[in-house]
Amino acid sequence: MKGYDAVVSNRWVRLGAFLVVLVVLAVLPLVADPFTNQTISHIAVFAVAILGLNIVMGFTGQVSLGHSFFVGIGAYAAIIPIRDWWGGPLAEGAIVIGFVLSGLIPGVLGLLIALVTVRLRGLALAMVTIALPTIGLPLAQKFSDFTGGNEGISIRRLDYVGADGQVHKGNPFAAGPGLENDQWQYYIVIAIALAFFALAYFLVRGKYGRAFAIVRSNEAIASSMGVSPYRYKVLAFTIAAVYGGIAGFLLIVWGQFTSSETLAFHHSIDLVIASIVGGAGSIVGAVLGGVFYVTVSQIMNGLQLSIYTTLVQGVVIILILFLLPGGLASLPRTIRRLVRRGAAGHSVEAGHAADSASGNTKTQVQPSEERNT
């Protein structure tokens, strides 16, 4: 077991594994079928959304129950400029504007919401953010000229003026020569997702990550060390909102469509469940959460059992909270601990049992080296 630990925690082994993953991600779409490519890009879209949720929940210890609001707003902020300006004088610039706005608008809204709600200790954030989808949905429907209301906005066939001066229909995210649409969209989604995962990785490893952790474990100690809990909680929530918004942009790249349904309340609940199942206190957990989010409903629909989907999600989240509070990302560590406990006999058992019985998602956040893998 010791040899295994040494290998797994070796820097170069980790770096090598990461490079292998990168190469697989780069080569895969060229050999896989469109369905696989779309599924993986779909997972990447929601992994980014869940990563934002993890920063606010797992790393800072607050619960946001309105994350789908930011995904939905981000999707609108991305698709509306593309709908209105793509094919005009701005050309592909419209996509860049959509990308910037999809991070900026949810970020500003998240900042304003956090500035007010983080003032109350404890549960206020959960109690207020749960209202965001409830407010957002009627607003999106009210301004249907702008948002397309219930029908939503599709940019799969947009008008543009071609080189011949004629008006054509085109998809802003159609592939150039040599690639299929699903491959092209896959590369865009994966590239942006990787960039935001890298940003989050360096964020939580550095000064900010340590500040989040200390705010999470004890606000009084944080204050006494000169780390303002208020400031860092606001910051974490704002970052989460930006990640939600960027996931909205990626959703547009993936499907070229959004509607008010994107920000509906039940998606927020699904995202929270996926985050906890994957492991809210870890970056890998966000990827596992994305896999859970996308594949559970896909599998259930495939088996014609979609009526059981909600029940399955409920059972899984309760089981995870009872048995594996660190989520799937903590599974290897938990297994290692169980094995070690078996080897060491009963002396350490009591301590670990108390540790795991507290049903605490935080137990996994302690070893900072392992958390950031």
The residue ranges that bind another protein (CB under 8 A) are: 57, 61-63, 65, 116-117, 119-124, 126-128, 130-131, 134-135, 138-139, 141-142, 220, 265-266, 269, 272-273, 276, 307-315, 317-318, 321-322, 325, 358-362
Nearer to another protein, 73 or 250 (CB): 73
Nearer to another protein, 21 or 120 (CB): 120
Q: Which of 108, 100, 27 has its CA nearest to residue 249?
A: 100
Tell me the closest approach of the beta carbon of residue 56 to another protein, in angstroms.
10
DSSP string, 147-179: H-TTT-EE-SSEEEE-TTS-EEEE-TT---TTS
Nearer to another protein, 193 or 234 (CB): 234
- State both tokens at 66: 């309105």
Nearer to another protein, 8 or 130 (CB): 130
Class of residue 313 by CB neighbours under 10 A (exposed 0-12, middle 13-18, buried 19+): buried
361 three-state secondary structure:
helix
Nearer to another protein, 337 or 362 (CB): 362
Query: Which ranges constitute the DSSP H helices of the chain?
Result: 2-9, 11-31, 34-57, 67-85, 93-117, 124-129, 131-142, 144-147, 181-205, 207-217, 219-224, 229-255, 265-278, 283-302, 309-323, 331-344, 349-357, 368-371
CB 364 within 8 A of CB 279: yes
Nearer to another protein, 117 or 185 (CB): 117
Distance between CA 22 and CA 358 in Å, rounded?
37
Nearer to another protein, 141 or 154 (CB): 141
Query: Sign (positive/negative) of CA torsion 350, 351, 355, 358?
Result: positive
